[in-house]
Amino acid sequence: MVEEAIDRLLADHDPKGDVVEFLGARFDAGLAWVWYPKGLGGLELSRGLQGIVEDRMQEAGAPNPAQHNPLGVGMGSHVLLAHGTEEQQRRWLRPMFSTEEIWCQMFSEPGAGSDMAALACKAVRDGDEWIINGQKAWTTLAHVSKWGMLVVRSDPDVPKHQGMSYFIVDMHGEGVEVRPLRQITGEAEFNEVYFTDASIPHENLIGEVGDGWRVSLTTLMNERVAIGGAVPPRGAGPIGIAVQVWKERGGDDAQRDRLMRLWVDAEAARLTNARARDNRKVGTPGPEGSTAKLAYAEINKEIFEFAVELMGAEGMLYDSYEMTRPDTFREITDPRKGFLRSRGNSIEGGTSEIMKSILGERVLGLPGEPRVDKELPWNEVPRS
């Protein structure tokens, strides 16, 4: 059934033609996410069949929606399926997958990073609207996004995890200001976002009022899978770049051994991710997302450090630090840029330290970190 649907799609629509048109047709064919309901981009089949779709799309040279709209396709879609109403799903899923409407995510704040539940961006209900005031930081692709996933403080009088709500906000709405955050590479794919009396209709609430923590966990688990759970072809990605540098420049025996160890580590992580992908069921991913994200972050840093080391003095040269604002994620091919950009891998989507805490508590069963403010009302918790 899946193979037949793919054959019809490729016969009727040019995979190398208009991106939005092809991806919209793929959604309508039920080949966006085959385990989703019919009419919402799926065929109500086993999630394991999705791999067939992705392989055939790659072979045909079709556009990858997760590259054009990574936060929407990688996270927002699964949040809507798990927590959205049918009306919300029908309203947002198709233009999200077709990349007509780009999405971003707004959780972190200057005073609420690793402890996301400490966030202070405020939402006050006014009839059928919510009025938002506050600031968000590290918002990837906010400057090109139509919609944003936003978690806010809707009740300051209850403990912090209970007083949060989750909304979808129009990034072009009045009172929403996006400012670039320039990175070490010179790019500004990140942004800070300011809300000044911004209005969100109540119908854009995902889940229930006060249910923002639970909904945000779905987002975060899928974010970690999106960051660390991709399964590239064998020898591709950062390790492929390192191997290419070795072929061009060579090295001594110790460096050769180090390259082999990195290749084995990268391949072990790739195969682990493949197994986790195949075993993942419908719903919120488990701690394997944190495992993959942690491994991805640390291995990438090691690989790019090694590649730059092989380049010698040339590894210190970087083409340009001029600020640019990319409209999507670009594949890194320059090891020097990879060296700079990989610094952020251990921060974005949850720091490596947070990933270790999650794995220690949820997988190994170790005692949790002390949480002395967990039961206190948010407005009574001391803040700097």
Distance CA 30, CA 52 (A): 13
Residue type (1 letter), 20 = V
Distance CA 277, CA 261 (A): 24
Residues β-bridged to residue 179: 192
257: Cβ contacts below 8 Å, ≥ 6 apart: none
Hey, which residues are catalytic here? 223
Distance CA 378, CA 201 (A): 25
Token pair belonging to 190: 């990140």
Token pair belonging to 295: 């491994």
Token pair belonging to 382: 């001391």
Closest CA to 341 of 244, 254, 253, 241: 241
First-last CA distance in the chain? 58
Distance CA 72, CA 89 (A): 12
